[in-house]
Amino acid sequence: NAGVTQTPKFQVLKTGQSMTLQCAQDMNHEYMSWYRQDPGMGLRLIHYSVGAGITDQGEVPNGYNVSRSTTEDFPLRLLSAAPSQTSVYFCASTPMSGGSYEQYFGPGTRLTVT
Amino acid sequence: KQEVTQIPAALSVPEGENLVLNCSFTDSAIYNLQWFRQDPGKGLTSLLLIQSSQREQTSGRLNASLDKSSGRSTLYIAASQPGDSATYLCAVNGANSKLTFGKGITLSVRP
């Protein structure tokens, strides 16, 4: 299994540009989520999904959109990038069956908005 | 709202020392608690997962304990090595599998 994969690893955007951060998992996990990590702030939840077709907002959802059309993929869209969205973005997945709810993280995407 | 605190923010110890990293949380209604390791510029590596019904988990030189009623967890590292230098993050899993993270403890083990 590849686990949780994220692309791209690095990205530089100009203010106002849009882009999609890709996240995929091959473990058939129902739950997927996006976090951002900023110095001094720790990791904060952006959006999450408990299954295909179901998404919900986390702690810091403004400026981001998500959709979940398949169990495997959970892309994060920035519609109009702002410098405040410069951060490291992590995607995670969790099995909802089995009871452990252990979370598995991808390697991250480093985004710079100028 | 769940809050997770890790103090101190940084710790420097000589090689070979046994050490304890602390994590406290405000809401005891949790499913589990996970300890992660993060190396500079890298992703999160899961170290240990403790379910809410468990008291501790062990993996090699690592031992994590959980006292849900008092809102505390500790990560014990035995015989520390320079390769243990990293940031250690504590995360509490609450409703809907939402993780609340502490800000981490940056550990430096001096040779």
**Residue A2, pLDDT score:** 79
**Residue B14 CB partners (closer than 8 Å, separation 6+):** B109, B110
Residue numbers in A near B102 (CB within 8 A) = 42
**Residue B21, pLDDT score:** 97
- Of B49, B98, B102, nearest to A100 by CB-CB distance is B49
Residue numbers in B near A108 (CB within 8 A) = 42-43
pLDDT tens by residue, B1-34: 899 999 999 999 999 999 999 999 999 999 899 9
**How many pairs of residues across A and B have Cβ atoms under 8 Å apart?**
60
Residue B49 forms beta bridges with which residues? B34
Residue A111 forms beta bridges with which residues? A11, A87
Helix, strand, or coil (residue A63): coil
pLDDT tens by residue, A57-93: 999 999 999 999 999 999 999 999 999 999 999 999 9
- Chain B: nearest CA to A79, how far in angstroms? 24
**A98 pLDDT exceeds 90?**
no
Strands B105-110, B10-14: pairing kind = parallel
- Of B43, B51, B93, nearest to A90 by CB-CB distance is B43
Contact (CB<8Å) A50/B98? no
The full 3-state SS of chain B, as one line of letters, equals: CCCEECCCCEEEEECCCCEEEEEEECCCCCCEEEEEEECCCCCEEEEEEEECCCCEEEECCEEEEEECCCCEEEEEECCCCHHHCEEEEEEEECHHHCEEECCCEEEEEEC
Contact (CB<8Å) A103/B43? no
- Chain B: nearest CA to A8, how far in angstroms? 14
Report the amino acid identity of residue A38. Answer: D
**A44 pLDDT exceeds 90?**
yes
Nearest to B87 by CA among B35, B48, B14, B15: B35
Among chain B residues, the shortest Cα distance to A101 is held by B97
